[in-house]
Amino acid sequence: MKQVISTVLAPKAIGPYSQAIEVNGTIYCSGQIPIDPQTGELVAGTIEVQAERVMKNLQAVLAEAGVGFDHVVKTTCFLADLADFQAFNAVYGKYFPENAPARSCVAVAGLPKGAKVEVEVIAVK
């Protein structure tokens, strides 16, 4: 059975989607961009600043589902500029210090609200 996961500690959906959905112990988190959940505004700054906000948003959604980054099995990362790859990895790697999940990382033509990064995750209980 499908269960909607939602928390005020992560940004509200900016479209017709849920922050996450849990089905049979698997949590599918929608992509997070660097929106501050308190203001609803995009966090300005470097790729590092934006990546940190993205990971904190995902952390809040995962926590609402009762898991952490250690339960993540797959991520998909979207970068507006592949030149940011190393700097993004430095932030991302802090959240997966060991047993990192499978991952895809792609450059895209653009992201919502002009974000530099978006990350979606799949986790299991």
Q: What is the model's pLDDT at position 15? A: 87
Name the band, by pLDDT with cuts 50, 70 and 90, for residue 1. confident
Average pLDDT, rounded, for the chain: 97
Q: Give the CA count within 13 Å in the CB-facing half-sphere of 30.
A: 18
Q: Which residues are catalytic?
A: 105
Helix, strand or coil, per DSSP, at residue 44: coil
Q: What global pTM score does this model have?
A: 0.96
The answer on pLDDT for 120 being more than 90 is yes
Query: How is residue 112 written in tokens?
Result: 């919502």
